[in-house]
Amino acid sequence: MTTFLQQTLNALQLGSIYALIALGYTMVYGILTMINFAHGDLFMIGAFFCFLGATFLNLPFIPSLLLSMVGVAMLGVTIERVAYRPLRSAPRVSAIITALGVGIFLENFTLVFFPYPQSVPTLLKTVIWNIGGVTISNLQILIIVVAILMMIMLDVIVQKTKVGMAMRAISWDKSVVPLMGVPLDLIISITFALGTSLGATAGTLYAIAFPVIDPYMGILVGWKAFIAAVVGGIGNIRGAMIGGFILGIVEIMVAAFMPSTYRDFVAFGVLLILLIFRPYGILGKPRPQKV
Amino acid sequence: MNDVLLSVQELWVSYGNIKAIHGISFDVHEGEIVTLIGANGAGKSSTLRAISGLIPYTGKILYKGQELRKISADKIVGMGIAQVPEGRGIFGNLTVLENLKLATWQRKDKPEIARDFERVFGIFPRLQERRNQLGGTLSGGEQQMLAVARALMSRGKMVLLDEPSMGLAPVLVREIFRIIGEINQSGTTVLLVEQNANMALRAANRGYVLETGNITLSGTGAELLGNPRVKEAYLGG
């Protein structure tokens, strides 16, 4: 029982990181029906921004997090403006190839400056509590709380604000949105800023939990979060959160109760089986035909 | 006659190598209902899309004397040109209220917006009943009413209507045209694109006939209704 509780806590920690990244994929897909395959690498850049802030500017945790969010949001908005916007009416495959290219560019650009893995200085002193045999660290609590706060904030923005209303309208039919007087490009930029800053948050939290970072760290994590977004129902924000937590739970439970080399094999197997039964994802719906 | 509100001069639109509109010119005066009639593919929707700034074109489109070419589509709405697009363009994942609120994006006049909500719900009591329902759950007629209501919420001084009768039962078509007349009476200028030439010409002060990208006839609504060529081609003989 204690093992189970312990692993549940670990699963929540990992799942909240996946969920934050998955949100970035799903938001961009929701408004542009395009997979931003550079998103995993923006997560990596987020970790590096946190590292830079902590190492060279001696910033504590919250300012490092904010630096990372702002830096990555600006980068994300720039990438959309320079690389994706000119391709908005081009065939989907061109945009996807461009996104993959942007990802490889970001990895190698980082590699120029940091050819070796870097260790992130301790931003927060670890405190470990032992409650009935379950060890809980303050970092775990922090990661889960920050992630959940971000998700609540995003949900409020999307459901309750005017900008969020415009985002939802774009996801339904972006061709009509300008006729409402809504500046389409501005809303798309805001969406990129929000999605990528959540990715940066994930990168920062990840760097705190696993403080050795390298330019390729975003690839596998990015793919996993993408699959989590698809399992939740790509384009659906709550779906991305659920998908992220499911992936975290499956991974941790497999590693806990089976040989750890089975982890990705079983995790991805479960997700593929889920997709057979729910091809649009858990909360995804087949798009109704437009009349 | 009142001042020219919208002036389209030598408008050309092409999609790749295909020329959709071949240098058409027409004016809409303040307070008028003007209709463009023509068959499918004659270039009616392209004309409206060009006015709203959704597609590139050559030639001039002037609104209150100001050239619109360099102005983005959302700003054109802010200047007072609203469009009810073909197929209505309702956001099915937004509630009726949200659909209406979105259309006020360019407006800053909060008390006026509240008054316009009352006015719109006065014209369309059905929308008030369904204000918390998702747009996608409305019937075709209700969606058309919502689309017109959105144009009113954006405070269109001029409303461009693209095929408002499409896919509606005759009784609803009459209802929509009655409302168009009512909106016009309250001071909104209307540019109406229709395949239903009979209804459109009856409602309009003036009309233009568009054939494969050219204006081939023009006149008052009554003149065009009586024109033998119009009768044969658009009114079923």
Query: What CA–CA distance (Å, rounded) separates B161 from B148?
Result: 8
A166 touches chain B (CB under 8 A): yes
Radius of gyration of chain A (CA): 19
* Predicted local confidence at residue B202, as pLDDT: 93
Cβ atoms of residues B235 and B222 within 8 Å: no
Q: Identify the CA nearest to B42 among candidates B8, B19, B9.
A: B19
Nearest CA in chain A to B82: A179
Of the pLDDT bands very low, low, confident and very high (cuts 50, 70, 90), residue B29 is very high
Kindly list the domain boundaries of chain B, sorted by start residue. Answer: 4-234
Mean pLDDT of the region B179-198: 92
Q: Identify the CA nearest to B106 among candidates A160, A31, A183, A161.
A: A183
Q: Measured over all CA atoms, what is the biggest interatomic distance in chain A, rounded to whole angstroms?
A: 60
* Predicted local confidence at residue B65, as pLDDT: 93
Q: Identify the CA nearest to B99 among candidates A290, A190, A179, A188.
A: A179
* Predicted local confidence at residue A291, as pLDDT: 36
* d(CA A235, nearest CA chain B) in Å: 13
* d(CA B160, nearest CA chain A) in Å: 11
B92/A288 Cβ within 8 A: yes
Percent of chain B with pLDDT over 90: 78
Structure confidence by residue, pLDDT tens digits, B120-140: 999 899 999 999 999 999 998
**Out of A162, A171, A181, whose CB is closest to B74?**
A181
Cβ atoms of residues A126 and A137 within 8 Å: yes
Residue A152 Ramachandran class (φ > 0 left, ψ -120 to 50 alpha, else beta): alpha
- Report the C-alpha dihedral over residues B50, B56, B62, B67, rounded to 10 degrees: 150
The structure tokens listed for B88 are 């209505």
Domains, in order of start, for chain A: 2-277 (1.10.3470)
For the beta sheet containing B189-194, the strands, ordered from the edge strand earlier in sequence to the opposite edge, are B81-84, B158-162, B189-194, B33-37, B206-211, B214-220
User: Which ipTM did the prediction report?
Assistant: 0.92
Cβ atoms of residues B159 and B8 within 8 Å: no
B83/A179 Cβ within 8 A: yes
Query: What CA–CA distance (Å, rounded) separates B47 from B9?
Result: 11
**Residue pLDDT tens, chain A, 291 long:** 788 888 888 899 999 999 999 999 999 998 888 899 999 999 999 999 999 999 999 899 999 999 999 999 999 999 999 999 999 888 888 999 999 999 999 999 999 999 999 999 888 888 888 888 888 899 999 999 998 999 899 999 999 999 999 999 999 999 999 999 999 999 999 999 999 999 999 999 999 989 899 999 999 999 999 999 999 988 888 899 999 999 999 998 888 888 888 888 888 888 888 888 888 888 877 664 433
* d(CA A241, nearest CA chain B) in Å: 20
pLDDT at B162 over 90: yes
Structure confidence by residue, pLDDT tens digits, B37-47: 988 888 999 99
B101/A181 Cβ within 8 A: no
Pairing mode, strands B4-15 and B18-29: antiparallel
Radius of gyration of chain B (CA): 17
SS3 label, residue B98: helix
B98/A165 Cβ within 8 A: yes
Nearest CA in chain A to B75: A181
Mean per-residue pLDDT over chain B, rounded: 92
A287 touches chain B (CB under 8 A): no
pLDDT at B2 over 80: no
Query: What CA–CA distance (Å, rounded) separates A72 from A47?
Result: 10
Residues near A288 by beta carbon (within 8 Å), at least 6 away in sequence: B92, B136
Nearest CA in chain A to B137: A288
Cβ atoms of residues A87 and A219 within 8 Å: no
The structure tokens listed for A237 are 């924000």
Query: What CA–CA distance (Å, rounded) separates A278 from A178?
Result: 34
* Predicted local confidence at residue B237, as pLDDT: 58
**Out of A168, A179, A290, whose CB is closest to B94?**
A168
| Range B4-234 has CATH code 3.40.50.300 | yes
Mean pLDDT of the region B170-193: 92
Query: What CA–CA distance (Å, rounded) separates B90 from B100?
Result: 10
A168 touches chain B (CB under 8 A): yes
A158 touches chain B (CB under 8 A): no
A183 touches chain B (CB under 8 A): yes
Cα of first residue to Cα of last residue in chain A, in angstroms, is 54
Q: Exposed e or buried b for every residue in B29-49, given b needs 16+ CB within 10 A?
A: bbbbbbbbbbeeebbbbbbbb
* Predicted local confidence at residue A265, as pLDDT: 87
- Residue A207 identity (one-letter amino acid): A
Residue B149 Ramachandran class (φ > 0 left, ψ -120 to 50 alpha, else beta): alpha
Cβ atoms of residues B91 and A167 within 8 Å: no
Nearest CA in chain A to B150: A180
Residues of B with CB under 8 A from a CB of A: 52-54, 72-74, 77-78, 82-83, 85, 87, 89, 91-94, 98, 101-107, 136, 140, 150, 154, 167
* Predicted local confidence at residue A286, as pLDDT: 67
* d(CA B47, nearest CA chain A) in Å: 15
Query: What CA–CA distance (Å, rounded) separates A196 from A222?
Result: 12
